[in-house]
Amino acid sequence: MSVAIVTGSGGLIGSETVRSLCDKGFEVAGIDNDMRRTFFGAEASTSWNQHDLEKNYPNNYKHHNLDIRDQSGIFSIFEKYGTAIELVVHTAAQPSHDWAVKEPFTDFTVNANGTLTMLEATRKYCPNAVFIFTSTNKVYGDTPNTLPLVELETRWEIDPAHPFYQGIDESMSIDTSLHSLFGASKVAADVMVQEYGRYFGMRTVCFRGGCLTGPNHSGTALHGFLSYLMKCVYLNKPYTIYGYKGKQVRDNIHSADLVAAFFEFYKAPPAGGMPGGEVYNMGGSRFSNCSMLEAIQLCQEITGKELSYTYTETNRIGDHIWYISDISKFQKHYPQWQQKYNVRQLLEDIYVKNAERWLATEKAV
């Protein structure tokens, strides 16, 4: 049986990856210590996902309650499985702009040092394994905000004549911009993943995600835009929009679509002619994107409820006004992969699969 290591296995992308790989017959070692609860409180806990995985995949899934910064602990797991490990999917992270400011050392050590620990464990015990890293579009800092934008009724949009109209590609510079501390720690991890691919010839890849979301997301105010928004609409909770008139645009990709892209890379790495260290921008693209105001409208239509929200002029530091991913590089390398979920379908999936759980959790508080 092929072995895969998945960090952040209780989170959005991690749990989606575990389910997909277990269904394909992999033996999966999941690493997750529910730090999302530490970062954002009880409502963001991933324990429900962990329990679901252990219940549904008792023969394929083994959970390890471990911090990715624990080098000896991580190394012991890798040593146990050794070269049987064919795939490492590293999704564990501190994911919030705002939280990073509270504890910069924690943010950096989780995102940068934790990634280094995973890379070294892979190099030492299973150097031929495919190493997939969930990076972020925040590595580009606020450079996207320098693009020529046009204000429309419900969104900001880029000038149709601009080369990035179909989306921002991997040629955008990551230098001389304001990243937020979170963005900076992810840059460090991103570059290290690339370096291990190029320097050591390992089969590494960075997927620089736009907004990653789906029904497995434990959304909260500081992280998990669409999941948390839908939850607020359904439960009549107050919501705050930060800056840009609520017209800021994000592309949103369903976790299942992203994990399907992971698996295409795993089957044929690397496809771009590089020895390793490939980079792909990955998000909803022009196929699946919305502004904050448009997302609110969709959530209200799906639930039949109205959102109570307030607006503050102050935007989050380093936040993007408009960001849509150009995913054509990945599509060129892996033409068999296709997105299945647009924004409405994505939001409907979040709602249908979480409404009952949200309500039960709310009543239990």
Give per-residue pLDDT as tens, 277-287. 999 999 999 99
**What per-residue confidence (pLDDT) applies to 44?**
81
Distance from C-alpha of 136 to C-alpha of 211, rounded to nearest angstrom: 9
**What per-residue confidence (pLDDT) applies to 362?**
75
Say what angle helices 343-364 and 292-303 make with each other, to 10 degrees: 70
Domains of the chain: 3-364 (3.40.50.720)
Cα→Cα distances 34→7, 30, 133, 281, Å = 11, 12, 19, 27
pLDDT tens for residues 329-342? 999 999 999 999 99
**What per-residue confidence (pLDDT) applies to 219?**
73
pLDDT tens for residues 72-104? 999 999 999 999 999 999 999 998 888 999 999
pLDDT tens for residues 259-295? 999 999 999 998 888 888 999 999 999 999 999 999 9
Contact status, residue 167 vs residue 208, Cβ threshold 8 Å: no
Distance from C-alpha of 156 to C-alpha of 144, rounded to nearest angstrom: 12
Question: What confidence tier does 365 reach under pLDDT thresholds 50, 70, 90?
Answer: low
Instruction: State the DSSP code for 69.
Output: T
**What per-residue confidence (pLDDT) applies to 271?**
85
Above pLDDT 90, what percent of the chain? 85
Residues near 191 by beta carbon (within 8 Å), at least 6 away in sequence: none
Mean residue pLDDT of the chain comes to 94
SS3 133: strand
Question: What confidence tier does 222 reach under pLDDT thresholds 50, 70, 90?
Answer: low
Average pLDDT, integer, range 224-252: 93
**What per-residue confidence (pLDDT) applies to 122?**
98
Average pLDDT, integer, range 192-197: 98
**What per-residue confidence (pLDDT) applies to 56?**
97
Cα→Cα distances 225→14, 239, 252, 307, 331, Å = 18, 11, 10, 14, 26
